[in-house]
Each structure stands twice: as structure tokens, then as C-alpha cells.
Amino acid sequence: MEYMSLKKLEDLFLRYKTWVVSNPQGVSEMEAVVKWGSYILAGRLKNSSLLCEVVYSGSRLFEMFNDFLVKGILPELSSKQGEKLKVLLTVLEYLEVLIEISAVQFWGEVGRWAVVTVIQLIKCIGRFLMVLKYKSGVVSSPPIKPIDRKAVIKNKQEMQYGLSNNNPGVIRLPQSGRIMRTLAGAPPSHQRTFTPPKPPNNNDNEPSSALVVSHKHLTAEVIHILRPLSHLSSLYIFGKQSWTPWVLSLGMDFVSLKLYDESKLTKVEKAEIIHRRIGLLYYLVRSPAFHVVTQKRIEHFLLSVGNRIPLARTICKPLLEYIPEWQKIYAYTWS
């Protein structure tokens, strides 16, 4: 009986995996519906903050699981260097706000700050391991990014049937995996050799793990990794409404980004640095800048939109009520 149940579960999993691989757009739409559900629930129910984070965190983990199915690397996690650590850091990043809100429910504000400190300490240690042990160079946030599923499936098909754009004159036989030239890709008779063709290369966009990291590059990443702990420490010393923690963390961000301007980066690392530059806007919703500068302007904008545009009040009014709650929850996370 137990064997039959396991067999049914295995069959269901295989059928679901086949559906995910063959319907990437449908899976993405299903994930988006779940994710938007967390925004719709905001402020509408008792303990809505906790419920919203349960839904939102679950949707992010669900998305990551589906990405693994599409890439087909789920069984190989234990064999890849640093892959387990990347998964741990990504899962922790997706769950940290949920853990923080749960800590407030059970242990109050003291428990919240204790949990926030422990989470940031674990993330700091994990990121140092990624940089120093696994030579990651720039550790993205989250370490495992959502993938372009259509592109991954297309690349897998190209590898299987030899339709790679990088080397259109080469095919890989689906059964044996042997690499052969196509008739169309064969060179003229007087230039032919017996050298075996090279397999299609689809790793152009992968980050290089063998980069020789410069001193400035390493210093920049260390500053970036230490920034959350420095911010929390200065909050404890100077208080939540002091400008010192805000200026300190912003200054560390600027120094880190400036050092990266002088470093040689891969395409993937450059994209992460651009993401970090855009993330500087997040300082507008951190205390005390939010309460002194940003809050009044956001409220004025939403009130103006709600009064001038028909039906916009139904959206703007809940936002006005819930923005302070969002600011309180998200202003101290570093994901």
C-alpha cells in the first residue's frame, strides 16, 4: 500500500515536471496570480501582514522550485560546489520577512530585532564563504536569480538537436550524445581536417568562477557584505530615528560601488552592480528619510490621484493606510 502511494506521488511529480517544462508561460502566470494575491490581501484581514508574507514567500519558493525543474538540476544540487549554500541563502532571503513578522507575533519587538540580527549574521557568513571559498566575485541578491524559462528550454532543445546559434554546423546525436558536423556546415574539400568538431557552447552568460579577484574588487564586496551588520549595530547605538545609521550605510554603498567602477567585471556581475545602483533609491523609504522627506510627498501624490482619477480612490486609500506598515516591515531588510 505504501509502495503504491509513493509510486503515485512519483508519477504525479513526473507529470507536473513535464507540464512545467512544456508550459513555461502558464507556470509563470500561475505564480503571478499567487504573488498578486499577497498584495490583494494586504490590510483586508486580521493579521494580514503575516498572511501576506506566507503567500508571497510561498510564491517565491514555488517559483524557485519550478526553475529547478525547468533547468533540470534538482537531483544535482549536492554535486555542485557552492550550490547548496546558494540555495540556503536564497531560501533565507525569501523567508526573512516572514520569519521577522512571526517573531513579532510571538516575542514582540525584542524578538524581532534578535531574529533580524541572527538572519543578517547568517547571510553575512554565507556571503563571505561564497566570495572567499567558492570565488563568486559578486554575490547577487538573491544568489539564485529567477530564470528566463523560455530561453532555457530553447537552449536545451538546441543542445539536444544541434540547433545552437553558436555553432550551427555541429549537431549532437540525441541517443549517443556524439558530436558531428552537418553537411551544410562542412568546410570545402581542400580545407577539411580530421579534427573532431567542438560541441556547441551555451555557457557564454554564466558567471566566471575562475576570475582573479583584484584587491579593490574584494574590498568592495566585503564592504557590501558588512553593510547590513554595520547598519544594525549603529541603530542599536544611535537609535532608529538617528541619521547616523542611514548615512553610514549609504556611504558604505557609495564606496563599494565606486571601487567596482575600477574593477574588471563579467557581464553577469555588471548587471548585479546596476541592480545595486538602482537599489540606492530604497534609502528614500528608510527611516529617518521616509518620515522627514518621503512620506508627505507619497501621501500628497496618492491623495491627488485619488481625487482626480475616477475609481482610483479604491486603490489609493488602502495604499495610504498600509504604506506605514510596509515601511515598518521592509525598511530594515536588505534583500
119-128, 178-187, 226-235, 248-257: which has the minimum mean pLDDT? 178-187
Q: Which amino acid is at 106?
A: F
89-98, 200-209, 310-319: which has the minimum mean pLDDT? 200-209
pLDDT at 43 over 90: no
pLDDT at 176 over 60: no
Q: pTM (2 decimals)?
A: 0.76
Are 158 and 124 in contact by the 8 Å Cβ rule? The answer is: no
Q: Which is more confidently placed, 148 or 245?
A: 245
Are 84 and 77 in contact by the 8 Å Cβ rule? The answer is: yes
The pLDDT, as a whole number, for residue 213 is: 61
Are 31 and 94 in contact by the 8 Å Cβ rule? The answer is: no
The pLDDT, as a whole number, for residue 249 is: 93
State which H helix or E strand residue 172 sits in.
strand 170-172
Angstrom distance (rounded) from CA 292 to CA 284: 10
Q: Which is more confidently placed, 308 or 222?
A: 222
Q: What is the average pLDDT across 25-40?
A: 79
Are 43 and 322 in contact by the 8 Å Cβ rule? The answer is: yes
77-81, 128-132, 202-206, 257-261: which has the minimum mean pLDDT? 202-206
> 181 - beta bridge partners?
170
> 18 - beta bridge partners?
none
124-128, 181-185, 275-279, 303-307: which has the minimum mean pLDDT? 181-185
If one counts every other C-beta atom within 10 angstroms of the C-beta of residue 6, the result is 10
Residue 12 binned pLDDT confidence (cut-offs 50, 70, 90):
confident
Residue 331 binned pLDDT confidence (cut-offs 50, 70, 90):
confident
pLDDT at 6 over 90: no
Q: What is the average pLDDT across 47-68?
A: 84
Closest to 197 in 3D by CA, of 162, 154, 226, 234: 162
The pLDDT, as a whole number, for residue 310 is: 80
Q: What is the average pLDDT across 210-218?
A: 70
Q: Which is more confidently placed, 8 or 159?
A: 8
139-143, 180-184, 199-203: which has the minimum mean pLDDT? 199-203
19-28, 118-127, 308-317, 326-335: which has the minimum mean pLDDT? 326-335
